[in-house]
């Protein structure tokens, strides 16, 4: 599965982009820099083309290699 990350300072543009496609996404914020990061999972190629037309944004795409989670402490002990 491919994961796309798009970084920029315009929340409205990122939100509009994310909501314009049917893919699961997350929007993250780093207040000390006024920076937003859009993370989109399992997207179609048209999304990368849409992002390339945005001015003032940077993007990266990756193939997901591994996904995991940690068990809560009680579960790890067998309680």
Q: What are the tens digits of pLDDT across the range 25-78?
A: 999 999 999 999 999 998 888 888 888 888 899 999 999 888 888 877 665 555
Beta bridge partners of 58: 7
**Please, are residues 37 and 27 in contact by the beta-carbon 8 Å criterion?**
yes
**Please, are residues 38 and 30 in contact by the beta-carbon 8 Å criterion?**
no
- Please indicate, yes or no, whether the overall pTM of this predicted structure exceeds 0.85: no
User: Which among 42, 44, 8 has a CA at the least distance from the CA of 16?
Assistant: 8
pLDDT at 76: 57
pLDDT at 66: 86
């Amino acid at each position: 599965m491919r994961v796309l990350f798009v970084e920029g300072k315009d929340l409205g543009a990122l939100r509009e982009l994310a909501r314009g496609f049917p893919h699961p996404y997350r929007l993250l914020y780093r207040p000390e820099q006024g920076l937003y990061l859009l993370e989109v999972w399992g997207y179609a190629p048209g999304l990368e083309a849409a992002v390339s037309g945005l001015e003032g944004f940077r993007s990266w795409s990756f193939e997901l290699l591994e996904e995991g989670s940690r068990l809560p402490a009680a579960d790890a002990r067998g309680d």
